[in-house]
Each structure stands twice: as structure tokens, then as C-alpha cells.
Amino acid sequence: MKTTMLEVDNLATGYGAVQALKGVSLHVDRGEIVTLIGANGAGKSTLLMSICGDPRARSGRIMLDGEDITAKPTHEIMRSGVAQSPEGRRIFPRMSVLENLVLGAQAAGQDPAQQLPRVFDLFPRLRERQSQRGGTLSGGEQQMLAIGRALMSRPRLLLLDEPSLGLAPLISRQIFATIRDLNEREGLTVLLVEQNANQALRLAHRGYVLVTGRITMSGSGAELLARPEIRDAYLGGGH
Amino acid sequence: MTAPAAVPALGITARLRAALVDASKATVVAFGLFFIMVGLRTDVSPTGALFLRTRWLDVALLCAAVFVSRLALALWLGRRKPEVGPAWQAAALSRAGLLFGPALLALALILPFVPGIGRYELDLGILVLTYVMLGWGLNIVVGLAGLLDLGYVAFYAVGAYAYALLAQYFGLSFWICLPLAGILAAFWGVLLGFPVLRLRGDYLAIVTLAFGEIIRIVLLNWVELTGGPNGISGIPRPTFFGLPFSMSGGPQTFAGFFGLEPSPSHRVIFLYYLILALALLTNWVAIRIRRQPIGRAWEALREDEIACRALGINITNTKLTAFALGAMFAGFAGAFFATRQAFISPESFTFIESAIILAIVVLGGLGSQIGIAVAAIVMIGGFELFRDLDEYRMLVFGAAMVVIMVLRPRGLVGSRAPSVLLGEQRRIDARFVGEGRG
């Protein structure tokens, strides 16, 4: 039976005078991977941030598992089963890998000792590098750390912002494989923002296309991949 | 200045040639500058007209000095193997640090009874320990939470005036006022914290700087309460749990009660141990709390505020607790300062105090407890050591700071020593994880 995990209804927000989202509606079902693709500045990251309450919604509604979280403070949203791996990874560079991971569990009230083996099994590289400082990891390892840190809070819904940013194709394929694995084995619900539309749409069950703050298209991953306008705009024509 | 067989890889002649070229270039630049600035000088002739005087000999001497110094510098720097230096230094320092801390503590504990340590040395020790405590307190705000606070002295002032005023108007004793001074300072810390919650870096520094000045100027101008520029005098001295340090030698005094010869040094020794205990309390709390979730949250906040929010850390609480705890220790130190001096005035709480405390924290290496203690000893003790040099000691002081920052840009004890982590790579049991030391 399908149940809705996240429902965003006519969400509008912005920064100062700039209107970044102009009434976005989408939903993510439990156990689904949904991707949000779009060009630079379309508002993808703003939408993810806005779900976390920063920037706050100016109008519209955000529901998580039937609960209205539109006005909840950010730190409470992040403690209620939502985790975000933010754009640009934003790991804590001078703290060790282990400390980074522990911080992911702590605010959500999870016991780090229970969550660590799970994350280390997903990303064995992190186990090897646990005492190293975060800033000394390679880009791919930092991305693993950012996702691992988000998973430490044992989220119901994982928000991933551009996990393939600046990574070699091989590494980004590994990351995507891990996301699929998490979804299939643990039933983790994922909302994925990507510029790499090809990989993202292949991975996702469904996708939305965001253009300057509005959803212009939606459909299953395969459907969207097959549409000529998507191929032209986001897949570089005959890519 | 040639280094025999130090670097066999790079030939002596090649290094010498490079150094000579470098020195020649520097000399050409120096000549360009000195030719005009020193070589040509306008003087007034007896008739009142201007005439041009030339000083070619001075120019030649200066250029020669530049050439020789530059050559010596190039050869000396070229002698070092840069990639080996810092790592080797850090390893040695961390090894020495394991013994150094306990040794320093032991010395601090027995200092009053070391032969040759008189009143002057103990007074200096008290002063140094006050700054060690202030440094450790500010380290919570700046070193751990990464909030650049240029007005830390304001909380020191709040603590000092809290004790002075409570003692003067309500006759409360030092031991009751000490916690009150800490609580009041913490309250002001929260009060400052609220308006600056959204600020970081330069902007935060400016606002905290202004806050420090506001407190001082209020103390200066609220004459009815604080005595204004005249300050508050006759602040009660501390008692040994109710027994005053008096020269009368009666049964209700410290000396009389313990059957000792009354001596003025009793109070100094007592004050010394009091500030030592307060400083150690600050250190203990800071070390303990760093391993607690709130301590980790402070460090995470220093690293990346947005990531903290994404992890569900309550930024408001995290910042306010850092401000409050840091301010509380400044309040304790302030109450101690007031009882030690028996006189306080706004003059003791100027911006330069904040700057000195911040310099101690930065020189010591942001976040390092032992580094801060050493930096306080070097800065405050060094300041005393060069007292004979009068105003030149500022010059020595400035030069010393530049040298330290060039040689160890991250402070005496550089940041979070990763060597602590490397030896424990395999320890991942729950206890280890719980401590989060990584």
C-alpha cells in the first residue's frame, strides 16, 4: 500500500525580493526515490532547504507523514526523521571522520554506537579513515561522509543535494549504487536533487522537472528520460 | 652561515648562487628606496634657503646591510627542509606535551614553597594565573565555538563590579559573591548573545567590541552606583572560610586559629591557591564539556553553521551556552580580581585587556588548553621580564609575537593534534564512540 511520506503543496519562498519558488507541489511516497532535476538557479536546492525550514515557506504547506511541518523550527524538523546531505557536502573539516558521524546521530537522539556499524558497512572507506580529519578526505570520500553523517540520524526521509557534484564518473556511479542499495534493502525514502539528469532519472522511480521555481513536468524516471524536451534541455541533445 | 653537510642533496655552490642572486635583487630594491629617502636630503642653510645635501656613504652602508642580512636569511632558510620541519616539530611537541602539562601543574602547585620565591614572584604568579583562567574561559567562546569575541573584558568587569557592589551595599562575603558574580556575568553573556545570534566573523567581532566599550563607559558614567572614574575602594579581602588574614594574631584570625606566626604572605599564598583552583576548575570544565554533545556541537558550529542546522543542532542554544559559559568564568575571574586588588575602576577593563586575552588564546593555538597556559606565561611573564626596557618592551613584545606567528602560524600548540587519534585507530568500542574523540 502506498502512503505519502512527504507532501509539498503550492510552496512559495524566496530570499529577500527574489522569489525562488513560485508555488511548487510534489509528493514523495514511502520507499520511493524521487529526483528533482533542473538547471542552475531553478530552485532545486532552495526547495530542499525550504523543506527543512530555512528559508521558511512564504505560502503553501509541507506535510511529513501527515504532520504539518511548515512552521516547525529547523532543528526540530531535522530531529523528526528528516536528514539532509547538503549541497557542497559541508563536512566538518577539522574534526575526525568519527566525530563527523557522531554529530550526525547526536542531535536526533540516536545512539552512535548502534548506527556506526551500519554506516561503516555501507561505506567501508569511512571505517578505514575514521581517525582522519574530514578535510583531508578526497572529494568522493567526503561525499560518502556527508551521506553517512546524514544516515546516522536514522532518517525516514533522506534529502540528497547534488551528491555527484565534482566527482569522477566512477565515484558518482558508486554513490548512486549505494543510494539504490539503501532504498532496496532498508526501504529508505529519498528525495534527490541532481544536475546529472541522466544518472538521476535512471536511479529514481519518479522525477520532477523544476524550471525557475515551477514544476513543469513530472513522471516516472523512464518516461522522463524518453521525452525529447528532457533530452534536449538536460541530457545535452544526443548525449 | 654555510651549513656543512646539512643538505647534501642540493650543492653548496648552487645554494650560494641562488642566495647571492636573491640578495642582489633585494639590494637593488633597497637602493631604489634609499637613494631618495636617505641619499638626498633637503636642509636649511644659515641664510634660510633650502639646499640639497647628499649622503652617499649612508646609502652604501644601508645597502650593504640589506645585502648581508638578505644573504644570511636566504642561506638560513634554505638550510631547512620545509616538509620535514613542521611534522617533526609537531610530533616532538605532542610527545613533550604529554609530560609538559603535569610538570607545569606540579610546578604551579609547589610554587609558593619553592625557595627564592618571594612576594613579588607570587604576585606575578597570581597575575599570570588570572590570565590563564581568562584565556581558558575565552577559549570556550573563540577556540571551541568559533565566535570571535573582542569584548570579553566586559564580563570580567561585570564579575568584578558584581562582587564589589554586592559586598559594599549588602555586605555579602566573597564566597557568596563568587557564584553570584559568575551567574551575573553569564546572564550578561546571554544578553549579548541574543542580538549577535545571526552574526559571524568580522561583524560579530565589531558588535562584541562595542559591547565591551558600552559596559566600560556605563561603569565610568554611572557615578552614583559605581563611583565612576574613582572606582570602588575598600573591597573586602577574602577570608579563609570565615577566618580573616589579619596581623593581630587573635584566635579568630587565620594565623591565630592555626597557631602560626602572623605574616602578610599568608594572604598572598591563599590568593595564589584560590586563583589556581579557579583556573583548574575552568580547565576541567572546558575539557569535560568538549567531550559532551554540547562541546562537540560548539566545535561543529565553528566548522560549519549550515551543516549544523542540517544535522538538527539548535544553533541558538549552542551559541548562547558558549557565550554564557565563557562569560561565567570571566565573572569568577573578575570577582577574584576585585578581592585581590581591593580597589577597582573602569580603567582596569579597557579594550587592551580583551586584546591581550585574545592574543593569549590565538598564540596558544585556538582550542589548546596547555598552549594557552604557556602563552599566558610567555605574554604576561615576558612583559614583566622586560620591565627594565621601559617603552621598548612593546617592541620586544611585538617582535616576539611576529616571530611566533611566523614559526608556528597556528599557535604554540597547533589545533587539534591528530596524533591523539592515530594511535587509537582500532578502538571503536562504545565507550570510545561515546566520547567522540575519534
Q: Where are the domains of chain A?
A: 1-81+156-239, 90-154
Whether the CB-CB separation of B375 and B381 falls below 8 Å is answered with no
**pLDDT: is B82 or A211 the higher one?**
A211
Mean pLDDT value across residues A143-162: 95
Mean pLDDT of successive 10-residue segments in chain B (438 residues)? 46 82 90 86 81 86 90 74 54 69 90 88 94 96 92 96 94 93 97 88 91 95 92 89 79 82 86 96 92 90 92 94 97 96 94 91 85 90 79 77 80 52 37 35
Of B48, B79, B110, which closes a domain?
A: B79
Closest CA to B191 of B164, B165, B154: B154
A219 interfaces chain B, CB cutoff of 8 Å: no
pLDDT of A112-145, one tens digit each?
889 999 999 999 999 999 888 899 999 999 999 9
Of B47, B79, B111, which closes a domain?
A: B79
Is residue B225 domain-shared with residue B370, that is, in the same domain? yes
The Cα–Cα gap between A53 and A163 comes to 21
B291 interfaces chain A, CB cutoff of 8 Å: no
Contacts with B297 from chain A: Cβ below 8 Å: 103, 106-107
Mean pLDDT of chain A: 91
Could you tell me if residue B333 is inside a domain? yes
Could you tell me if residue B93 is inside a domain? no
Is residue B331 domain-shared with residue B395, that is, in the same domain? yes
Residue of B nearest to A76 (CA): B312
Is residue B37 domain-shared with residue B170, that is, in the same domain? no
**pLDDT: is B9 or A157 the higher one?**
A157
**A79, A86, A131 ranked by CB distance to B424: nearest:** A131
Strand partners, A7: A27, A63
Closest CA to B194 of B320, B79, B35: B320
Chain A nearest CA to B428, separation (Å): 9
Q: Which helix (H) or strand (E) holds A12?
A: strand A4-15
Q: Which helix (H) or strand (E) holds A34?
A: strand A33-37
Q: Do B430 and A149 touch (CB under 8 A)?
A: no
B89 interfaces chain A, CB cutoff of 8 Å: no
Interface test with B, best of A102, A157, A160 (most B CBs within 10 A): A102
Contacts with A75 from chain B: Cβ below 8 Å: 309, 312-315
Where in B157-283 does DSSP place strands (E)? 232-233
Chain B nearest CA to A155, separation (Å): 11
Is residue B74 domain-shared with residue B108, that is, in the same domain? no
Could you tell me the residue range of the domain that residue B21 belongs to?
12-79
pLDDT of A30-80, one tens digit each?
999 999 998 888 999 999 999 999 899 999 999 999 999 999 999 999 999
- Number of Cβ within 10 Å of residue A27's Cβ equals 16
Interface test with A, best of B198, B292, B308, B309 (most A CBs within 10 A): B309
Is residue B215 domain-shared with residue B133, that is, in the same domain? yes
Sheet holding A59-64: strands in order across? A18-29, A4-15, A59-64, A67-68
Chain B nearest CA to A165, separation (Å): 17
Q: Do B310 and A94 touch (CB under 8 A)?
A: no
pLDDT of A3-17, one tens digit each?
899 999 999 999 989
Q: What does the pLDDT read at residue B3?
A: 44
B10 interfaces chain A, CB cutoff of 8 Å: no
What ipTM score was computed for the predicted complex, to two decimals? 0.90
Could you tell me if residue B179 is inside a domain? yes
Share of chain A above pLDDT 70, in %: 98
Mapped onto helix, strand or coil, the DSSP state of residue A41 is: coil
Whether pLDDT at A234 is above 70: yes
Residue of B nearest to A158 (CA): B310
Cα distance from N-terminal residue to C-terminal residue, chain B: 45
Contacts with A121 from chain B: Cβ below 8 Å: none
B301 interfaces chain A, CB cutoff of 8 Å: no
CA B425 centroid distance within chain: 33
Q: What does the pLDDT read at residue B421?
A: 40
Is residue B206 domain-shared with residue B65, that is, in the same domain? no
Whether the CB-CB separation of A146 and A179 falls below 8 Å is answered with no
Is residue B215 domain-shared with residue B290, that is, in the same domain? yes
Question: How many A×B Cβ pairs under 8 Å?
Answer: 112
Mapped onto helix, strand or coil, the DSSP state of residue A165 is: coil
Q: What does the pLDDT read at residue B255?
A: 82
Mean pLDDT value across residues A181-197: 93
**pLDDT: is A2 or B56 the higher one?**
B56
Q: What does the pLDDT read at residue B220?
A: 95
The Cα–Cα gap between B142 and B136 comes to 10
Is residue B261 domain-shared with residue B346, that is, in the same domain? yes
Is residue B72 domain-shared with residue B175, that is, in the same domain? no
Is residue B61 domain-shared with residue B113, that is, in the same domain? no
Count the domains in chain B.
2
Architecture of the domain whose range is A1-81+156-239:
3-Layer(aba) Sandwich (3.40)
Q: Which helix (H) or strand (E) holds A219?
A: strand A214-220
Could you tell me if residue B356 is inside a domain? yes
Q: Do B299 and A95 touch (CB under 8 A)?
A: yes
